[in-house]
Each structure stands twice: as C-alpha cells, then as structure tokens.
A and B are shown apart, each in its own frame.
Chain A
Amino acid sequence: MKKTFRIGGVHPHDNKISAEAAIEIFPAIETAYVSMAQHLGAPATPVVAVGDHVKVGQVIAEPAGFISGFVHSPVSGTVKSIGPRADIAGNLVPHVEITVEGDEWMEDIDRSDTVVKDIPFTPEEIIEKVKKAGVVGLGGASFPTHVKLAPPKDKKAECVILNGTECEPYLTSDDRIMRERPREILIGGAIMMKALGVTRGYVGIEENKPAAIASMTEAAREFPQIEVVVLKKRYPQGGEKQLIDAVIRRQVPSGALPIDTGAVVQNVGTSLAVYEAVQKNKPLIDNVITVTGGCLPVQHNYKVRIGTPMSKILEVAGGVPEKAAKVISGGPMMGRAIANLDAATVKANGAILVLTEAETRRKPESNCIRCAKCASACPMGLEPWLLNKLSRAGGRFDELEKERVFDCIECGCCSFTCPAQIPLVDMIRISKAEVMKIMRSRPKK
C-alpha cells in the first residue's frame, strides 16, 4: 500500500498539462533585475557599484545577517542601477539592474555536462560551498539551505528526505528535473547526507508522476542508502511536516521544528542546486519555471535566469491570451496572484500560471453550516471554522493562540473544501500574523 500523511488533506484535480514539455533553455534577456530579497530573512547587501562589469556567477550581494544569503549575477554585463523596484506583490524591494552584454561566466564554474559523483569535501566545506553559492529552499519558502544543513547542536538529524511530491496542481518543474537529471539530484541528496552525517535518505514522489518515479528509481540503484518512496496523490503532501509523516511515520509536535523528528526535508530542486554548487561551483543563478494554464496554447518548462521579468517570460511563451484574467506565481492552491507583471523572477519562483475568469471566479460567501469539512481537511488538525470565527470577532488573540493558529501552514485546504465558500485561510492568515507577532514580542524563557 502506498504511503501518505495521516491527518486531513484534499484531492484537487492535478491538471499537470505541462508534464510532457521538456525543459527548454530560456533565450538570452536584455536586462536582468536581481532582487536582494530572494531568501527568508534580511535582504542581502549589494557589493557592486553602478558601472561595474559583472560576470555570470559573480557575487553581487552579501548576506546581511545569520538568516540571509549571497546573491550572484545571473548574467554578464554592466550594473546599470541599484535601487528599489516593485516585486510581484507591488512592494518595493532593493534590486540590482544589470544590462546584459554577452555571456561571460566566472572561470571556476564547471559548465560541462559530466556528472561528478565523488564527494571529496568535508561537511564543513560542503556547508560553506552551499552558503557561498546562495542556495535557498526552492520549494517556496526560500529558507537558506546552509542553515538547514547545520542544525543546532542539541538536535540530531537522522535522515534526509528529498521532496519530489509536487502536490500543487499544474506545477511540473520538479517532475521534469526528476526525469531529466535524476543522478544529479541524488548526488545532491548524498552531499546533504554527508553534510549532516546521516546514512539514510528518501525521495518522496507522488504516484501521478510515473516517469519521474521510473527515472529516479533507475538512478537510485547506484545509491543504496537512498530509497524512492512512492506516495499517494494528496494535497498538501509537499508540506514539510506532512511529508515527514508520509515517509517516516513521525509527526512533528505542535510548536516543534521538523528537525525534532530527525528529518531534514529538501526540495529536489534544492538538491540539484546543492549538487551544482558543490560539484560544479555553480551558484544558484537559474531555476526551472513552469509556464502553464488551460488557456495557453502551449505549456512550457523553461530554465530561466533569475531576474528575468515575468512579462518577458509570458511574451516568449506566446503572450497572454485575451481571455486570461489572472496570472499566479506558484500553484493554484498556495500561489499568489501577480499584481505587477514587470516584476522579475526570484530563486524560489517555480511556476507562472495563467487562469481565465471562469477558472478564478469567486462564488458568493454564505453562512457556515457546521459541516466540519474544514476540520477534517486541515492537515494540521486545526479547526478552521473556529479560527475564522475568533478572527472575525477581533482581538481574541489569547483564544486563537490556544487553538494553535500559529500551526497553520496556509495550505488552503479549508477554503478549498468549504461548501459555503468562506474565505477561511484568508481570515486565519491575518490573525496568525497578529498572534505570531505577540508571541515573538514575549520575553524568552
């Protein structure tokens, strides 16, 4: 019997219409806009000046704190400006604008296709290399990977789980890299296992990706310590806590970190980036982005340099059709609508999804009928109807905290399943932010 997580979950239609589109290299761009806030934590500090010439892979910004990261130039050319620019949500974020001239790479980057399997580095060297390459979690939260590879001393890692579930509908970028570059992903996994000093590795893949399962299983024969685990199709299996439960049958307690179960979860895309960083000296300067949607004539999986404007990607993909109403960055469940199409891609962008008005239409909200569908769908075992009620009442933060609003992973299962169309996740998200702020402001014991 195939494994899955034990609490909640929903089954949205998977719509993986771009699964057969092989990864294409995105054509060269004229200008790259590189955001300084591509990772969780403090935005990086630029170390280049206007007029400087930069090569592909050159460091253009350094971390500004422990939870922060390096940013590298994704193109070669001249720095045109450094200043605020609107991101996809319209918020102003410092960007470095680079006018592209040719494609000159840093000399120490190995650009050949040969797969290097031997790992001659010590754990410390690996972590340093991952940090210097600016690798962040590509599953969405963009947590700096080097921080995750160095858990606190009192916590002991026991295994590495590579996340190839890609449970969000429409997305296929992880599916494609698992089909096309399975060995590199597994070497990346082995590198992280070495860094953490563990001997057990897993790759969790949902059953709706048979080609990826076949290629990863084939490649895994070389790696006896890594096991490919086929999982049932269920959203949000790609959530860190859900994946741990599905693969190794351990539940992360409320308020604890995934490392408390001994598992370190990394996305397969991150694993590939770790491989390239450690074995090829290639920093994280590009990623695979799915351009999809039922209304597009052709779906694509592009390998795009970071800093490419979204509008440019859509233009190359064949333009936005007339009937399109909404463009989403990410999948339909957790992705965010793009308010500003001129915004440039960042490391963690995985998809651009174009939907029509009929697909995104919001039905009118009605009253809660106490069916408890939200409570059975919640993968964190919360009661979304109650959190919604408390959130709307205003100011009842103590009760919200008691009901563990901070455990919400904002997966949207509750809103998806609600027959009364109540915007549960929206209401929970706003009070979660408030409660987290109150909890953080408390003096630490």
Chain B
Amino acid sequence: MTGTILITIACLVALGLLFAVVLYFVAQKFKVEEDPRIATVESILPGANCGGCGQAGCHAFAENVVKAPSMEGFFCPVGGNPVMAKVAEALGRAVEESAPKVAVVRCNGTLASRPRTNVYDGYASCKVMASLYSGDTGCKFGCLGKGDCEAACKFDAIHVDPEKGVAVVDENKCTACGACVKACPKSIIELRPKGFKNRRVTVLCVNKDKGALTRKACTAGCIGCGKCAKTCPFGAITVENNVAYIDFTKCKLCRKCVEVCPTHAINEVNFPPKPVIAKPNEENV
C-alpha cells in the first residue's frame, strides 16, 4: 500500500521536473521581449481599467503611451495630474498639466419642479425607457432617473437621488472617467473642469423645446430667454436651440448670469455664501 503511494509520488515528481525543464527551455526559446517601461507605467496607473482615457484598459494605455513620441493625447482621468506626472517622469518626458474635470448632470428637473405626467412601470433602465417613449414627465430631454449612469460608474460617484428623482454626482469620488456620459441615453451628463476652488457655474438644463413648452413641463428649465447671454460680460454664454450653454473656457465665475436667470436654471456650486447687504429700511431713515 505504502509502496503504491510512494511510486505515485515519485512518478509525479519526476514528471513535474521533466515538464519544468521543458518549459524552461521553451520559455527561453520563444521569449517575447516587452519594453520594461510598459510594466513600470502600468504599475503607476490606478488599474481601474475603466476606459476613461479612451484606451482599452490600463495595459493598453501603458503600451500606447510608451510607443508614442510625446505625452500629447494621453491623460488618465482617474489618476489625474499626479499620476500623469509620475508617468512622464518614468518615461523621461515633459509633464503636461490638464485641468481636473468632474461629471455634471445638466438637469435640475426634480420631482418638485418637474411634475410626473404618467407612471413608467417598464424595465428600470434609462436606455429601455428612452427607446419606448419620451419619458414620464412633460420634458423629453431631462433625466429619466432610472440609474443607467449609476450602474456604469465604477467609483460609486453618481446616484439617483430618490427625493429629487435625478442623478447627483459626488464630486469627491468622481474621477471624470466619462462612463456615465456614455451610458446616459439623453446625453445630459457633461465633463466640465472642476474650476478654481471647485467653483463652477453651469446651466442645468438641456431642454431644446420653446420657452412656453419648457415652462409648462418644468419650473427649473432653461426657456432660452437669452438674459444670461446679454448679461455675461465675457461672452461665455450662447443660446442655441432654446437652451443656454456656458463655455467654461471663457467663464470667469462672476455669477451675474445666476442672478438674472428667471427660472434659476443656472446653478453655482462651492461659492462662499454671499455677504448680506443691509438694505436701507424705510423705518430707519
């Protein structure tokens, strides 16, 4: 009995050694030379394989960036500037700074401001819903709130707020990989620079209907009145197809547009609270 066991073990060990030797020589013979820098770069990258950079994954990014003559066109949105600086250093190239971005959901049609006109009881997916009809509100451009973006996000950074009924981005977690931008069938989400001290001014509406129709559907929608465009001292706002858009490269964060917008469709974030200016009171005069 013991003999059988010993013979078996001996045979297996012998076979194992034999194959190890064969494999060793085969590996030597058919060795594929890979640029060692690819492995270095890959180890620096976050390894999320999110595809936010436009490449198939982190390995593909490393491969292509090593092959490329410069850093131009390569940016890892997840790692941001620090990671890109390390990559540039490892490759001995000049660093190219890029402004960090964040996903912005351009719809403020909350349950309160955008009344529901019907109940959708189909499969809970924005894509399926959008393929069937215009949506459960009077606005056919806005957020459907079924969470395709939430499912696409690998960083737990975007969620459909059950109280608001629209998707909300957690800007601390968002890496601007762009997965939600691709997942949204209504193309509401946009990647915008985080801005100075994370301060941003954005039009939170993409409704292309005429003002009267927009107003009927949603109290927070852009009616395309053009007041903001007239007010903007920097020419950063354009009104096209009945909806205003702020060009972030021109916007100087003066917030004049926020004040004039009649429907409060222009939203400001991360600004300090405004100092309360004491209005002259008639009784005190």
Contacts and interface: CB of A to CB of B under 8 A. Distances in A.
B118 interface: yes
B128 to A, nearest CB: 4
B127 A430 contact: yes
A426 B134 contact: no
Residue among A86, A90, A337, A429 with max Cβ neighbours from chain B (10 Å): A90
Contacts of A426: 122-123, 125, 128, 131-132
Given A92-B209, A362-B122, A339 B127 contact: no
Interface string A315-327: 0000000000010
Contacts of B136: 339
A90 B135 CA distance: 7
Contact of B140 (A91, A360, A362, A365): A91
Nearest to B125: A426
B133 interface: yes
A217 interface: no
Given A423-B128, A427-B128, A430-B127, A90 B122 contact: no
Contacts of A337: 122, 132-133
Q: Chain A at the B interface: mostly helix, strand, loop or mixed?
A: mixed
B35 interface: no
B140 A90 contact: yes
Contacts of A326: 121
A141 interface: no
Contacts of B123: 362, 365, 423, 426-427
Given A340-B117, A423-B123, A426-B122, A89 B133 contact: yes
A336 B128 CA distance: 13
A339 B118 contact: yes
Interface string B112-123: 000001100111
Contacts of A427: 123, 128
A150 interface: no
A368 interface: no
B96 to A, nearest CB: 29
A152 B158 CA distance: 52
A335 to B, nearest CB: 11
A125 to B, nearest CB: 41
Contacts, number: 53
Contact of B133 (A90, A92, A362, A423): A90
A433 interface: yes
Contact of A89 (B122, B134, B138): B134
A123 B253 CA distance: 70
A353 to B, nearest CB: 15
B152 to A, nearest CB: 8
A340 B118 contact: yes
Contact of A429 (B121, B131, B134, B140): B131
Contacts of B209: 92
A360 B121 contact: yes
A88 B134 CA distance: 9
A149 B93 CA distance: 68
Nearest to B185: A430
Contacts of B140: 90-92
Nearest to A357: B121
A326 B122 CA distance: 11
A4 to B, nearest CB: 30
Contacts of A336: 132-133
A91 B134 contact: yes
A92 B135 CA distance: 12
Contacts of B131: 426, 429-430, 433
A427 B136 CA distance: 20
Interface string A405-445: 00000000000000000010011011001000000000000
B121 A362 contact: yes
Nearest to B128: A426
Given A423-B123, A426-B123, A430-B127, A89 B118 contact: no
A55 B122 CA distance: 42
A351 B92 CA distance: 71
A415 to B, nearest CB: 10
Contacts of B125: 426
Contact of A430 (B128, B133, B134): B128
Interface string A360-372: 1010010000000
B121 A89 contact: no
Interface in A377-420: none
Contacts of B122: 337, 362, 423, 426
Nearest to B51: A395
A407 B115 CA distance: 39
A360 B213 CA distance: 31
Contacts of B132: 89, 336-337, 426
A429 B136 CA distance: 20
Interface in B2-45: none
Interface string B207-234: 0010001000000000000000000000
Contacts of B134: 86, 89-91, 339
A34 B61 CA distance: 55
B2 to A, nearest CB: 47
Contacts of A91: 133-134, 140
B163 to A, nearest CB: 24
Given A91-B140, A426-B123, A339 B117 contact: yes
Nearest to A338: B118
Contacts of A362: 121-123
A88 B118 CA distance: 12
Instruction: Report the 8 A-B pairs with minimum CB-CB distance, sorted nearest first.
Output: A90-B134, A89-B133, A423-B123, A426-B128, A339-B118, A430-B131, A426-B123, A430-B127
Interface of B: 117-118, 121-123, 125, 127-128, 131-136, 138, 140, 209, 213
5 contacts: A90-B135, A91-B134, A360-B121, A426-B131, A433-B131
Given A92-B140, A336-B133, A426-B125, 16 more contacts: A89-B132, A89-B133, A90-B134, A90-B138, A90-B140, A91-B140, A92-B213, A337-B133, A360-B121, A362-B123, A423-B122, A423-B123, A426-B132, A430-B127, A430-B128, A433-B131
